[in-house]
C-alpha cells in the first residue's frame, strides 16, 4: 500500500502546483499522462502490496489495460501513420482477441517498418497474447523500437516494465536507470522512475537474503 500512498501524494503535490500556477488544461492532460507512469510502475507486480516474487505466465494472465494503452499513446504523441493500426489492434484487444490484435500490428510494422511506436505497441500486445509472458518476439519488438528511436522513452520504459513483470529485475533496472539518466530531474517521469527503481532495489535485496 505504501507505493500507492507515495503515488497519491506525488499526484496531489503536482496538482496543487498546477493550480497555483494556473496552468492550461493541455498541461494538466500531459502531466496526468506522466503520472500514469507511476501507476503502471507500481502495477508491474500485479498489486503494489504483494511481495516481489516472480510470477509464472499462468499467474500473470494479462488482461487488456486501458491505462497502459493511454500511457503508450502519451509516449507516442500524434502519429498518423501508427494510429490506424494501433486503433484497430486496441479494438480487437478490448474484445479479448489478442491474436487478431497482434496480427493487426504485424500488418502495421510490415507497412511501416521504421515506425518505433508500432514496434512498441506490438511488443505490448505480444505479451497479452502470451498470457503475460515475455516472448522472444516481444523482446525483438522492443529491441527494434529502441534501434529505430534510441532517444524515445517508450521502448525502454515498456521493455523495462515487461522485464520486471518477468522477474528480470537486474535487466529492468538497467533499462529504467538508463532512461532516467536522460530524463530531466524535475519531470514526473523522473520521479516515477526513481520510485520504480527503488522498488526493484528492494526486490533485489530480498533475493540476496534468500
Kindly list the structural domains of the chain, giving each domain's residue range(s) and its CATH number in brackets, ordered by start: 2-209 (1.25.40.10)
**How far is the C-alpha of 208 from the C-alpha of 171, rounded, in Å?**
16
The pLDDT value given to residue 36: 52
Inter-residue contact 74 to 36 (CB < 8 Å): yes
Q: Is the pLDDT of residue 51 over 50?
A: no
Residues 69-85: tens digit of each pLDDT: 988 998 888 889 999 99
The pLDDT value given to residue 207: 77
Give percent of the chain with pLDDT exceeding 70. Answer: 69
Task: Name the grid cell of 13.
Answer: 503535490
HSE at residue 143, side-chain half, CA atoms within 13 A, is 7
Residues 8-23: tens digit of each pLDDT: 444 444 444 444 444 4
pLDDT level of residue 153 (50, 70, 90 thresholds): very high
Amino acid at each position: 500500500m505504501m507505493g500507492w500512498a507515495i503515488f497519491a501524494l506525488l499526484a496531489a503535490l503536482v496538482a496543487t502546483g498546477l493550480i497555483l500556477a494556473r496552468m492550461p488544461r493541455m498541461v494538466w492532460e500531459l502531466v496526468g499522462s506522466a503520472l500514469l507512469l507511476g501507476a503502471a510502475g507500481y502495477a508491474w507486480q500485479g498489486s503494489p502490496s504483494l511481495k516481489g516474487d516472480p510470477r509464472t505466465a499462468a499467474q500473470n494472465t494479462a488482461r487488456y489495460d486501458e491505462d497502459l494503452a493511454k500511457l503508450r499513446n502519451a509516449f507516442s504523441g500524434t502519429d498518423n501513420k501508427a494510429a490506424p493500426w494501433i486503433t484497430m489492434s486496441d479494438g480487437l484487444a478490448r474484445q479479448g482477441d489478442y491474436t487478431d490484435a497482434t496480427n493487426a500490428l504485424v500488418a502495421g510494422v510490415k507497412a511501416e517498418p521504421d515506425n518505433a511506436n508500432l514496434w512498441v505497441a506490438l511488443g505490448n500486445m505480444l505479451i497479452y497474447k502470451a498470457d503475460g509472458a515475455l516472448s522472444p518476439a516481444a523482446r525483438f519488438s522492443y529491441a527494434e523500437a529502441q534501434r529505430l528511436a534510441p532517444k524515445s522513452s517508450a521502448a525502454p520504459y515498456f521493455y523495462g516494465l515487461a522485464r520486471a513483470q518477468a522477474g528480470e529485475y537486474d535487466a529492468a533496472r538497467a533499462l529504467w536507470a538508463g532512461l532516467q539518466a536522460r530524463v530531466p530531474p524535475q519531470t514526473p517521469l523522473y520521479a516515477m522512475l526513481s520510485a520504480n527503481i527503488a522498488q526493484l532495489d528492494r526486490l533485489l535485496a530480498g533475493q540476496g537474503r534468500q
